[in-house]
Structure 1
Amino acid sequence: MSSRNADVRAALEFHAATRYWRGGDGIVMGTPPDLENGIWEEDRSLEPYPFKVYETLEPIAIPREFPPSAVPALAAVSASGRDGTGAPDLAFLARIGRLSNGLLDRTVTVRGTTITYRTAGGTGARYHLELYFVCADLPGLGAGVYHYAAHDHSLRRVRSGDDRSALGMDSPVVLAVTSTFWRNAWRYKARAYRHAFWDAGTSLSQALAVAASAGVPAELVLGFADDEVNAVLGIDGVREATVALCALGQGGAPAPDVAALPPLDLPVRPVSPREVTFPAIPAMHLASSLDTAADVDAWRSRSVDPARPAPSGPLTTLDPLPDDALPPEPVEEVILRRRSTRRYDTSVELGFRDFSTLLDRSSRAYAADVRPPVDCYLIVNAVEGLTPGIYLHHPARGAVELLRAGDFRADAARIAVGQEYCADAHVNAYWLADLGPLLAAYGNRGYRAAQLTSALQAGKLHLGTHALGLGAVGSTSADDEVVEFFSPHAAGKTYLFVTVFGVKRPRTASPRP
């Protein structure tokens, strides 16, 4: 682990500088007394174009229609990623691109700008992720480095030849997820660096499920030599940088040795007339980068003891649906109709079996080089058979522990910076982590891993709600108020991510009093 990655003051200072607080006129960011407006958007003429477009590369046509798989969505969401003998081909890459960063047939107009929704995560619909495939020879596609162009659902070949060994990987395909930070920072300033991993986690939850539905083994990779990976993709690692990799498929010919790769100078459509740099983003990214293969091996060899204190509160054993009772709808259909739900039916309870199934399926182990431990705290407002209150999910025990009973609807809205749908939702799920041991083991890069892991689990839960006919939405919260609310149990932990979910309110229903 490089010395700069080991100096965890960078992660702690970045987190402190990007905390949210409720201010008199909205959200403020920072640590008192150093607070600033949490939202930028100061120059609307600089609003970023939401796509990366290579101006001189010809598009490669890829399939647009996909036959539905036979795997139920909830089975795909909870798959380990290690099973299956499927081999990637061109149609598989098209499926991954479309269903984890493709366009949907839904738009919204915000202050005169029309935004097309995507299957990808996009905090505030400020889409900033790009997908690349580094692959060997595949049926229908020669070896090379390809960019998935979301704006026209095609591939662009960035490099020819098999460059997988430059990534230190042998899988037939390596999916690389990058963020162009400014496209999100235009609205969210330096906090966009958190969002890079939140949105990548959401996108990867779908990519992993799509791979499982196709029977293609998949493994998430968070440890890699940043400069080497960025060089293969032809990106600068500063304004656009790789945030995660995913190995797809197994077997086949090993990756050949690669000579030094020439730099790329491919014209790209400008994102904005000019870009504003928020220095905390490149500083944090550099501080959490790994330099060499030896650094990567050392980083992956570390671990954090996932042991938890024995529960002291009442335990309720979950009752999830068995495999043979899962709804049959495939994940492809679930992803394409996935929505952000902000209207919940407060006149009914969420069924306990649905609640159990979502927690069970979203928290199952998946293949990854590192899976940092995160804790899921729950505000239960209305679940069949459960006392309203605050709970902690214990995945290994298949149970939830009651930490404090009570009606906390008002608190749910308060800690979510006044967003009332959090009070209406049947459950608020908060992911927190103890950064002390996590950063001690993984250094600053452990902060990246924790943010992405929490969002990945939330993404799995979000897909699961739609498979069950329910709804969910990722939200935001005032960092310190979250920790204070879940304390004393959560004292010393750090807020990472929140998703609320429950029974959708019919459009004909009266609003909540």
Structure 2
Amino acid sequence: MNTVSDALERVLEYHERTKHRLERYAAGPETLDWDAQPDPFRRFEGAPTIRLPLAADHLTTPFEALSVPGAVAPHPLSLESVGIFLELSLGLSAWKEYGPDRWALRCNPSSGNLHPTEGYIVCRSISDVPDGVYHYVSRDHILEQRCGLPGTPAPAITPRLLVALSSIHWREAWKYGERAFRYCQLDTGHAVGSLSYAAAALGWRLRWVSSVAFAELAAGLGLDRNEDFSGAEREEAELLLEVIAAPGAATSDGAEPVPSENAWRGRANVLDRRPMYRWPVIDEVEKATRPCSPVPESGAAETYPSRSAVCSEPAARVIRQRRSAQHFDRREVLSAAAFYHLVDALLPRRIAPWDAWDLTPRVHPVFFVHRVEGIKPGLYALPRRAAIKPDLQAAFRGEFSWLKPEGCPEYLPLFRLAEADCSKLSRTLHCHQAIGADCAFALGMLAEFEPVISTAPWRYRQLFWESGLLGQVLYLEAEAIGIRGTGIGCYFDDVFHDLLGLSGRTFQSLYHFTVGFPLTDTRILTLPPYAGRDPS
């Protein structure tokens, strides 16, 4: 991509062509052979492995403590704590069986349970983990050492842990075609949330190392090594996070040094030996959104009251029991207190997962409230920073009321736009899916769009990451109060925009979500994630 304008043109072209419309869906495969689904697990054959202990069951941190700064004493960096961190963020949460079919669920959600996101860690001076770059294999809860790093001088430096994420676009494209790049970026945002919650349960926090450019990260993870991916699906580097395991710990402004060529081990396995389709537009937007020199952005200055405690269950249990609801019971009504608790969780604070996202909030939910006690059905908006409210009001329909609902906490920037039964509209908007109408509420995540990406097209990814992060908050906060949510990638983009009165591309919807009372299919068996494996 030669210039910013060229990259922006590619991004805008991709965004428009991958919108679902009432008259046609975005381009995807015409048929699916589920028996030929790509392998959901990446391995690097020939790489040395380290078996991680399964110790999350021993972690007693209550979920409500994650919302209280300093409430959890930091665990030291060790093989065990690294194992817990990965087990609760990118590890398996269960196996499911229905008839002859068996599939895995993970702590980090994924569009269609296809899991394009891969996790890597970089370790320095951590006991029982030699310095190096490792790939995490969720199926077996092991680390594959892709390479060792130059030895550290004595005395050893302070233990350090970095975690990186990459995407395998084919995993999503196999099912979703051209729209897959969007979903991979949403999954990256979900994974950031998963990592942040898991870190908080250990008394840690995460920091996005935003100064690392794409090429530098790809080289540091070995993703640019053609010989290691010969015939196999490539991985796209996404972002690097640093674990801050103690208050006041030093932070890094760059990636670890790249080891010598002969230090790399392992060859990537082939996930799909007979791909039926090709989607060149994904390669184009992938290249157009690679950051050359990301510029950090200061976070918002708003402050909000502390979160109230609602769930004393162990955080590990809440995290691992998270599921995507498939059906909702429309007879149930959500309490106003529960609704406001969930809305409040979307506001940025210096707690997980927002402490890993110290950026200006650019994504603002619009709610379809269906069944919430004491709250009139209709459309509601949540500007997640005060300065954007006038812009939203100017862009939305002039007849919208922008009234605070009765009983809404004063600090909560929630506004009713219009009072109406919008369940049928919500069902139609969400690709005619019943979950859009049967839930207690649905929402669309409206992003500040063209003004944000016009000078930095790579921030197209970042807007999806923020949307996925919001989704992860809703997943876990809903689970903590005994209900359930599900992300929706299939919705009619411009129908939603037209409903709000939007024109142009100042704002665009990037993700939708629903929350309600789940109906469980008892025919599907739930099995332990690592049955038969010794915990140590």
TM-score interval, normalised by the smaller of the two chains = 0.7 to 0.9
Does the 8 Å contact 1:103/1:151 carry over to 2? yes
Pair 1:244 & 2:239 matched? yes
Does the 8 Å contact 1:73/1:331 carry over to 2? yes
Does the 8 Å contact 2:497/2:509 carry over to 1? yes
Give the structure 2 partner of residue 462 of structure 1.
475
Shift of 1:235: 1.3
Shift of 1:348: 3.2
Q: Secondary structure at the match of 1:404?
A: strand
Q: Secondary structure at the match of 1:100?
A: coil
Deviations 1:94-130 (A, max 9, x none): 12222222223332569x7642222222211212211
Q: Secondary structure at the match of 1:21?
A: coil
Give the one of 343, 352, 357 matched to 1:359: 343
- The one-letter amino acid paired with 1:240 is E
How does 1:107-186 map onto structure 2 within 5 Å?
107-108=96-97, 114-161=102-149, 172-186=160-174
Give the structure 2 partner of residue 406 of structure 1.
420
Shift of 1:330: 2.3
Range with greater deviation from structure 2 (217-226 or 227-236): 217-226
Does the 8 Å contact 1:133/1:173 carry over to 2? yes
- Structure 1 distance, partners of 2:70, 2:16, is 35
Give the structure 2 partner of residue 331 of structure 1.
315
Specify every segment of 5 or more residues in structure 2 that has no aligned partner in the other structure, as ranges. 153-157, 226-232, 386-410, 523-536
- Structure 2 distance, partners of 1:490, 1:500, is 26
- The one-letter amino acid paired with 1:420 is A
Range with greater deviation from structure 2 (387-396 or 215-224): 215-224
Give the one of 301, 320, 332 matched to 1:348: 332
Range with greater deviation from structure 2 (488-497 or 4-13): 488-497
Pair 1:88 & 2:77 matched? yes
- The one-letter amino acid paired with 2:134 is Y
Give the structure 2 partner of residue 286 of structure 1.
287
Does the 8 Å contact 2:125/2:159 carry over to 1? no
- Structure 2 distance, partners of 1:243, 1:172, is 20
Deviations 1:357-390 (A, max 9, x none): 1111233232335445111110001112111100
CA gap 1:9/1:350 in 2 versus in 1, 3 angstroms: same
Q: Secondary structure at the match of 2:491?
A: coil
Deviations 1:177-211 (A, max 9, x none): 11111111111112111111111211221210111
Pair 1:47 & 2:37 matched? yes
Q: Secondary structure at the match of 2:88?
A: helix
CA gap 1:304/1:248 in 2 versus in 1, 3 angstroms: closer
Give the one of 344, 356, 366 matched to 1:377: 366
Shift of 1:408: 0.3
Shift of 1:424: 0.8
RMSD (CA atoms): 3.4
Q: Secondary structure at the match of 1:378?
A: strand
After TM superposition, the score normalised by the length of structure 1 is: 0.83
Give the structure 1 partner of residue 518 of structure 2.
504
Number of corresponding residues:
472
- The one-letter amino acid paired with 2:517 is V
- The one-letter amino acid paired with 2:285 is M
Shift of 1:151: 1.9
- Structure 2 distance, partners of 1:243, 1:257, is 16
CA gap 1:183/1:348 in 2 versus in 1, 3 angstroms: closer
- Structure 1 distance, partners of 2:311, 2:32, is 47
CA gap 1:236/1:22 in 2 versus in 1, 3 angstroms: farther
CA gap 1:226/1:62 in 2 versus in 1, 3 angstroms: same
- Structure 1 distance, partners of 2:328, 2:322, is 16
CA gap 1:373/1:176 in 2 versus in 1, 3 angstroms: same
Identity percentage of aligned residues: 24
- Structure 1 distance, partners of 2:146, 2:486, is 35
- Structure 2 distance, partners of 1:128, 1:470, is 27
CA gap 1:5/1:304 in 2 versus in 1, 3 angstroms: farther
Shift of 1:491: 8.1
Does the 8 Å contact 2:77/2:159 carry over to 1? no
- Structure 2 distance, partners of 1:56, 1:278, is 31
Give the one of 60, 83, 86 matched to 1:97: 86
How does 1:67-78 map onto structure 2 within 5 Å?
67-76=57-66, 78=67
Shift of 1:490: 10
Shift of 1:282: 1.9
- Structure 2 distance, partners of 1:253, 1:189, is 39
- Structure 1 distance, partners of 2:221, 2:5, is 23
CA gap 1:5/1:155 in 2 versus in 1, 3 angstroms: farther
- The one-letter amino acid paired with 2:497 is V
CA gap 1:46/1:116 in 2 versus in 1, 3 angstroms: same
Give the structure 1 partner of residue 48 of structure 2.
58
- Structure 1 distance, partners of 2:6, 2:69, is 31
- Structure 1 distance, partners of 2:3, 2:505, is 29
Give the structure 2 partner of residue 268 of structure 1.
268
Shift of 1:146: 0.8
- Structure 1 distance, partners of 2:92, 2:470, is 23
Does the 8 Å contact 2:368/2:443 carry over to 1? yes
Q: Secondary structure at the match of 1:244?
A: strand
CA gap 1:94/1:304 in 2 versus in 1, 3 angstroms: closer
